[in-house]
Structure 1
Amino acid sequence: MIESWTFSDGAVLTSPTAALALLHERIAAGQLETWLTSSQGRALAVITNTERAMVMLLEDEEDPGEHAITPDADGRSKDFILANGQHDEYPDEDTVPLAEALQIVNHILTTGTPPAGTAWSVDR
């Protein structure tokens, strides 16, 4: 069975390209936390400050999941604004540049897995 994805607010994805377009629109509008859920119960999150993003993939609601990383990055980035208004700050090594995050999301929506060669931290 092919896995299908929807935005957590119910927006249905017609294609990975349409999903990325909607994700771009949401980020431009200041909606910096987006969750997608799959037909197989997985969750994909993108939290951004418009420059870097935390991309998390969880197998189910109780899974601590895994996230994309930039292993050699130094520093910290601020202004990751969650839907509840909370402002988070993350080490740059725990995030990826936004353009890379969007490529990762596209690959997951298309194939179900992160791209080969993407560094991940498993939080399980």
Structure 2
Amino acid sequence: MIETWVFNDGAVPATAAVAPQMLRDRITAGQLETWFTSSRGRSLAVLSNTDRAMVLLLDSEDDPGQHAISPAADGSSMGFVLVNGQHDEYPDEDTVPLTEALRIISHILDTGLPPVGAAWSIDR
């Protein structure tokens, strides 16, 4: 069975072709947290501050999952605003530039896996 994805806030299908632009539009509109759910029960989350993004991939609701990283990055970035209004700051090594996040998300939506060469932290 091929894994399919939808945006969590509706039954809108999320494909590699349309998701990056939809995410850009959401981020531009101030919606900085977006979740996807797959037909296999996995979740994919993107939390942005408009410049960088945390990309999380979870196998189930209880799974600590894995996330994209920038191992050589220094410092931290603020401005990650969750849907519940919480404002977070993350080390830059735990986030990736937004363009890289969109590439990663597109690849996961298309293949189910992070792209080769994308750095990941396994949090399990």
TM-score between both structures, scaled by the size of structure 2: 0.97
Residue 5, structure 1, aligned to residue 11, structure 2? no
Residue 33, structure 1, aligned to residue 28, structure 2? no
The equivalent residue for 1:49 is 49
The equivalent residue for 2:121 is 121
Distance 2:44 2:25 in 1: 18
The equivalent residue for 2:89 is 89
- 1:47 is aligned with what amino acid? L
Secondary structure of 1:103's aligned partner:
helix
The equivalent residue for 1:16 is 16
Distance 1:29 1:8 in 2: 17
Q: Among the aligned pairs, what percent are the same residue?
A: 66
The size of the alignment, in residue pairs, is: 124
> Any conservation in 1 of the 2:14–2:109 contact (CA below 8 Å)?
no
List runs of 5+ in structure 2 lacking aligned partners.
none
User: How much is the aligned-residue C-alpha RMSD, in angstroms?
Assistant: 0.9
Post-superposition Cα deviations, 1:46-88, rounded to whole Å, max 9, x if no partner, equal 0000000000000000000000000011000000000001000
State the 4+ residue runs in structure 1 displaced beyond 2 angstroms: none
Distance 2:120 2:14 in 1: 27
Distance 2:87 2:30 in 1: 13
Distance 1:78 1:15 in 2: 29
TM-score between both structures, scaled by the size of structure 1: 0.97
